[in-house]
Amino acid sequence: MSHDIETYKRQSFGSTLEPQAPVGLLIVDLVNGFANPEVFGGGNIPQAIEHTIPLLAHAREKGWPVAHSRIVFADDDADHNVFTMKVPGLLALKETSHDSAIVPQLAPRKGELVVRKTVPSAFFGTGLAAWLTQHGVRTLLIAGAVTSGCVRSSVVDAMQYGFRPFVLSDCVGDRAIAPHEANLFDMAQKYAAVMMRDEALDLLANL
């Protein structure tokens, strides 16, 4: 691994990404189904949820714009897609299904955006980018599940839209640890700042 890191450094990957105000928070797919290891959960997702609870409280205290995402398919499956060809069980996530609902500990409040999506990224085909821009967001803190899937794709899109993604490594989780760690490494090298929640909040306190 040390040889790999030296290769990345030599090729100028992994440069520092400095935060800029204003700050927003995106919580990706922390819904009941991803909290349940019998459905779509497992791994370190429960810990990510627990670490996100005080993060959300802090964001609300600071008055930061907060957005949540959840996967929601039509009741008649009319919007099924290639994603559901790969993961057919996702079609069970409907508007009123328990597994598609955001976990109670992170339930959205009035004024917080809830993005419904049928693909991994919270940005693709949604109004999230426009909403964040309307609120002036420059730096976007990202929590959620899963690190290797919906979190990663949302981070890449956030970067492509010009936001500065800060992935909070203890507030994101995956059903398996190896892809979680590999994707944190890769995002830190190419797309985002990656750090623990408290480290990020300390850094933002100086803005």
Lookup: tokens for 32: 């009941």
- The Cα 187–Cα 165 span in angstroms is 10
Of 205, 165, 204, nearest to 17 by C-alpha is 165
What one-character DSSP code corresponds to residue 122?
A: S
Q: In this structure, how many other beta carbons lie within 10 angstroms of the beta carbon of residue 162?
A: 10
* 171 labelled catalytic: no
Name the active-site residue from 141, 150, 156, 193.
Answer: 150
CA Rg value for the chain = 16
- State which fold the 20-70+105-204 domain adopts: Rossmann fold (3.40.50)
Residue 4 pLDDT: 79
pLDDT tens digits along 128-162: 999 999 999 999 999 999 999 999 999 999 999 99
pTM score of the predicted model = 0.97
Residue 2 pLDDT: 67
Residue 1 pLDDT: 58
Give the helix/strand (H/E) hosting 113.
Answer: strand 113-117
